[in-house]
Structure formats: C-alpha cells, structure tokens
C-alpha cells in the first residue's frame, strides 16, 4: 500500500519573517538541580575555576542556546538579587518559599554571567515584582550595567567584575496572574507596577528592552483580559509580552498529545490578536512581539503536589525523563515557533538542566542528552534565516482534544547566504509513514544534503543514566530532488530535518 502524501510549495517570494536568533533560548531557574549539581558543581571532576561543570557547558554549546532567562520562574518572586553577589562564603542561606527548598546563594548573577560567556548566550534577567518593586529593580540595574563611580556599580567592581554586564533584556516579574505566585497581583496592580518599573529603568538605561508578564497559560480564567489590561498600562514601554505553555500526554491519548502545537498556534495567535487589539485602541503604530519564555513538555499531573519540598538543598524536582514521543512534540513546538517568527521574537525552552530539561546530570557523575535535546539542537543550528511560508495539503486525523489536525506539521527556513533550505517536519501518525512532496520554486537548492530522522520502533524509548545514547537522530535514506520536486518519506511518529542545498556542498567542494 502506498503511504498517504502531504504536499507543499516553497517559494522565497512568500516568506514569514527572518528568524530572531533569540528564538532558541532556554531558562535557568533556581529550582531543584537546575543550578546546583546541574550547571554548577564546584566539587565535580569537570568543574572549572568558576565551579561550572564543563561537561554541561559543552552540551549547552552543542544545544545552541542563544539567550537564557534567569533566575526564575516562581523563584524570582521572592528573590533578593544582592544575596547572590560578592564573596560566596558570606552569602546568606535563605528559605526559597516558591519551591520549599534551601537556597545557598553560592550561585548568583556573576556566576550566571560567566556561564553565558562560556556558552555564548545572552542574558534575560528577571526582576522580582512579587515581593519587591521599582527600587530594587533600579538597584539591580545599577549593579549590573552602570560602568562605575556609584555605590552599586563600585560594589560590582569590588566583587571582581570591572566591566559592566551589559544586560539588555529584562523580564518584569514572572507569572503574576497566577494565584500560586508569591506577590500575585491583579492585572491593574501588575500593569501599573510593570509600567513604573520599566519607566524608571529606562531612565537609567534607554537601551533596556522589557518583557511584561502575559498569562501563565491559555487555561487561566483571565487569559486575554490579563494581557489586554497589562498592555494598556505598558504599551509604550513594553517590547514583548511573555507567553508560557506546557503540554503532556494524558493517559491513553497520544493522538491529542502529538497535536499539542495546534493549541500552541491558537495561543500565539490569541496573544498576537490581543496585542494588536490594544495597539489599535491606542492608535499606536508599534507592534508588540512575543517572548515565549517558558515552553516544553512537562508531566505536571504526575508530579506529587508535595514532592521532596522539605527545605533541602537542590532536591530532585521536576526531573522528567523524555521519550521519543516527547521529542517529536518538542520538535512540533519548535515548528510552531518558527511558523510564527514574524511575531515571536524570543523563545525559552524551560528549563536547561535537570529540571524538565534537555540536559541531565548526576552529582559527581556524567551528563547526558535527553531525547528532546536533538530537535532543539537541530532547529537552533539550521533554523536561522528566513522562514518560508508552508501551506501544506496534508491528510488529517481526529483528536479528542484538538479536533481534526493535519498529520504533517512542517516549516522551512532559507539560509540566504548559502541558498540552503532546511525543512523541519513531523509526522503525527503513530502507525503510518507519510510521503512528503515539496515543489521548489525560485530556490538554488537542488540536492538533498541530509535527511535526519528521530523515530524509534519503541515510541517510549528514552535516554537514561544507564543508557544515555539509546535514542539519537539517524540518517534516513531515499530522499531526493528530481525536476525541482523533493520526495521524502517521513516514518510514523517522527521528527525530520531535511537539508537541501547545491550538490557542491555535498562533495564539500
Ligand atoms: O518552569 C517551571 C515553573 O513553571 C516556573 O517556575 C514557573 O514560572 C512556571 O509556572
């Protein structure tokens, strides 16, 4: 039996936008073992002079993380940034009420900035607008960015960082719409505080860019209304509004899980519509863009409500182990972000190490790549350039949660310098291969450079400490371009990266 076929046309005359490199960001929160025994473990055999695990730094470089949001998350809403600077021995141990853990503060702003220098990412610093406000945000800005000659900038210099950190991107609080958030606020309270904070910070640093909190999820009762009111207060000051979404497979409904990006698309389009509604109301020509600064698969429902949150240091929290299916869904979420590159400027996979993360570690032991590592690394590497429009004609299937969904989910990115085109494609069918036919118009690419596929006979296969390389992408055979048409086969339940270029690039000539 012939597999069913999905088709689309690629033509550089029809594009979406140039990808902002910050779409491939991640998130480091003081939560569980993301920082301690994850990124930072001075006692580890691979630790460098700053206490950073070089095995983890190497994996972060491989992952291609362009921006890192820090230090939270729920954690930031009770955080005192000054606890995390200066001589490590003098830093206070504190209760972290967000995760009911002990925070030693051995890792703070300077250590975070050092980790970025070694991995190549830019910072997105979150300020505490839960228990704190304008004054503390200004103090953090002065400490971080002012060259010298004032109390706080000189303190940074005295702490050993003579050059300012030059932080440009600031998150104004975290998920303050959520009743669980420390310092939870109404949209009016938050909107006014965010506006006052941004206004004051910009007086000190006119280049500062601000992310205001959108809703913590599409399911929040105030979704939409929250964004509209917050933006009415902050429209002229905000550059981005935050968007958060996590998905998980519900018992026996893999079909719906595989179509999670249908919900992600609706979420993005709903937030964009709300931003533009406020812009229209205010008669503003400015367009607010989205910072999708928490997204991932997260088995939240399987998490024990108490967890080991017993005031211990670096407890094992949220250490989800990801399957091939999870990786395919993560790939599909990346496709959704790329397809909306005209309005989504920033994306942060939540989180980076150990906590719902693509990188896992053992204290004193190895670091390894989860299944979800691979789609992210490939999208970050090959998803830079101009996103081309993909209007696919695809067979569809029905899902309990998302209605009818296309079996093919795809996007394509043109690297204008080399003329190479990368197609990212997911086959959502659990049982059937999908034939893919792409008509290439006005493109130089005339050969398949690589077709990499992540799939497995066991869709639940995972990488673990015992078997860290169980799942990796493999080369697929049989994809070819004949007469300007690409033909490829996407295995059932698979993430595919098909790179097209000129035959010269194959021989390396
Ligand atoms: O990423 C884990 C948590 O999820 C973050 O702390 C919070 O912002 C979100 O609810």
Q: How far is the CA of 203 from the centre of ligand 1 (A)?
A: 30
Gap from CA of 297 to ligand 1 centroid (Å): 12
Superfamily designation of domain 4-13+387-508: Golgi alpha-mannosidase II (2.60.40.1180)
When pLDDT is cut at 50, 70 and 90, the band that residue 3 belongs to is confident
- The 3-state DSSP class for residue 404 equals strand
Q: Which residues pair with 480 in a beta bridge?
A: 487
Rounded mean pLDDT, 439-455: 97
- Sequence length of the chain is 509
Task: Tell me, in angstroms, the distance from the centre of ligand 1 to residue 73's CA.
Answer: 5
Distance CA 109, CA 172 (A): 17
Average pLDDT, the chain: 96
Distance, in Å, from the CA atom of 180 to the CA atom of 302, rounded to the nearest integer, reads 18
User: Rounded to whole angstroms, how far apart are CA atoms 354 and 35?
Assistant: 9
Write out pLDDT tens, residues 162-201: 999 999 999 999 999 999 999 999 999 999 999 999 999 9
Cα gap 245→256, rounded to integer Å: 15
pLDDT at 208: 98
Q: What percent of the chain has pLDDT over 90?
A: 96
Measure the CA–CA gap between 211 and 213, rounded to whole angstroms. Answer: 7
Is 85:140 a contact under the CB 8 Å cutoff?
no
pLDDT tens digits along 44-88: 999 999 999 999 999 999 999 999 999 999 999 999 999 999 999
Rounded CA gap, 389 and 15, in Å?
5
This prediction's pTM: 0.97
Catalytic site residue 439? no
Which residues form the pocket of ligand 1, taking CB atoms under 6 Å from any ligand atom?
Answer: 29, 72-74, 174-175, 216, 294, 350-351
CATH number of 20-382: 3.20.20.80
Where are the chain's structural domains? 4-13+387-508, 20-382
pLDDT beyond 50 at 41: yes
β-pairing, 408-414 vs 15-18, is: unpaired
CA 280 to chain centre: 29
Looking at residue 193, what DSSP letter applies?
A: H
The 10s digit of each residue's pLDDT in 302-339 is 876 555 678 999 999 999 999 999 999 999 999 999 99
pLDDT on residue 2: 72
Closest residue to atom 2 of ligand 1, CA basis: 73
Residue in 114, 62, 73, 67 with CA at minimum distance from that of residue 96? 73
Distance 192 CA to ligand 1 centre (A): 23
Query: How far is 70 from 141, CA to CA, in rounded Å?
Result: 14
| Nearest Cα residue to 42 out of 33, 51, 50 | 51
Residue 506 reports pLDDT greater than 70: no
30, 74, 291, 318: which to mutate for ligand 1, most atoms within 8 A of CB?
74
CA distance 105 to 84: 5
pLDDT of residue 306: 54
The helix/strand/coil state of 484 is: coil
Q: How confident is the model at residue 301 (pLDDT cuts 50, 70, 90)?
A: confident
The yes-or-no answer to whether 4-13+387-508 and 20-382 have a common fold is no
Annotated catalytic residue within 41, 136, 142, 175: 175
Please name the residue that has the structure tokens 């406020």.
278
Going by alpha carbons, the residue nearest to atom 3 of ligand 1 is: 73
Query: pLDDT at position 302, please?
Result: 84
Q: Residue 129: which residues within 8 A CB-CB, separation 6 or more?
A: 77, 137, 172, 173, 176, 183, 190, 193, 194, 197
Pairing of strands 386-388, 408-414: antiparallel
C-alpha span between 369 and 388 (Å, rounded): 30
Active site residue 469: no
């Amino acid at each position: 039996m012939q597999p069913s076929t999905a088709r689309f046309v690629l033509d550089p005359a029809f594009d979406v936008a140039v990808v902002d490199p910050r779409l491939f960001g991640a998130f480091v929160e003081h939560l569980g073992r993301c920082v301690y025994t994850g990124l930072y473990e001075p006692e580890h055999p691979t630790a460098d002079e700053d206490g950073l695990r070089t095995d983890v730094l190497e994996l972060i470089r491989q992952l291609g993380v362009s921006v890192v949001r820090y230090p939270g998350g729920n954690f930031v809403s009770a955080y005192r940034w000054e606890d995390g600077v200066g001589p490590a021995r003098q830093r206070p141990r504190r209760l972290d009420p967000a995760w009911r853990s002990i925070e030693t503060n051995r890792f703070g702003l300077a250590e975070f900035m050092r980790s970025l220098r070694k991995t190549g990412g830019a910072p997105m610093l979150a300020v505490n607008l839960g228990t704190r406000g304008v004054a503390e945000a200004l103090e953090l800005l002065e400490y971080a960015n002012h060259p010298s000659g004032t109390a706080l900038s000189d303190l940074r210099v005295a702490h050993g960082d003579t050059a300012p950190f030059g932080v440009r991107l600031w998150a104004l609080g975290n998920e303050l719409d959520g009743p669980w958030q420390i310092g939870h606020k109404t949209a009016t309270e938050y909107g006014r505080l965010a506006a006052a904070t941004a206004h004051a910070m910009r007086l000190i640093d006119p280049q500062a860019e601000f992310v205001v909190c959108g809703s913590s999820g599409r399911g929040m009762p105030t979704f939409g209304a929250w964004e509209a009111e917050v933006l009415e207060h902050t429209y002229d000051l905000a550059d981005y509004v935050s968007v958060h979404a996590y998905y998980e497979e519900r018992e026996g409904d893999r079909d719906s899980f595989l179509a999670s990006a249908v919900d992600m698309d609706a979420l993005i389009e709903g937030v964009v519509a709300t931003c533009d509604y406020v812009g229209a109301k205010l008669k503003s020509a400015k367009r607010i863009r989205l910072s999708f600064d928490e997204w991932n698969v997260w088995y939240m429902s399987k998490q024990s409500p108490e967890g080991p949150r017993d005031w211990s240091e670096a407890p094992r929290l949220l250490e989800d182990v990801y399957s091939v299916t999870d990786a395919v869904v993560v790939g599909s979420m990346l496709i959704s972000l790329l397809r909306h590159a005209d309005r989504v400027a920033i994306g942060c996979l939540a989180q980076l190490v150990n906590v719902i993360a693509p990188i896992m570690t053992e204290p004193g032991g190895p670091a390894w790549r989860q299944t979800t590592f691979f789609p992210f690394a490939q999208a970050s590497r090959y998803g830079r350039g101009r996103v081309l429009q993909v209007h696919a004609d695809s067979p569809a299937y029905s899902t309990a949660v998302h209605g009818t969904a296309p079996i093919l989910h795809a996007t394509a990115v043109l690297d204008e310098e080399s003329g190479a085109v990368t197609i990212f494609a997911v086959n959502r069918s659990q049982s059937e291969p999908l034939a893919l036919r792409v008509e290439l118009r006005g493109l130089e690419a005339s050969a398949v450079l690589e077709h990499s596929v992540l799939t497995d006979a066991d869709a639940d296969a995972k990488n673990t400490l015992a078997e860290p390389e169980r799942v990796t992408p493999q080369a697929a055979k049989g994809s070819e371009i004949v007469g300007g048409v690409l033909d490829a086969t996407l295995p059932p339940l698979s993430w595919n990266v098909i790179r097209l270029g000129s035959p010269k690039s194959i021989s390396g000539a």
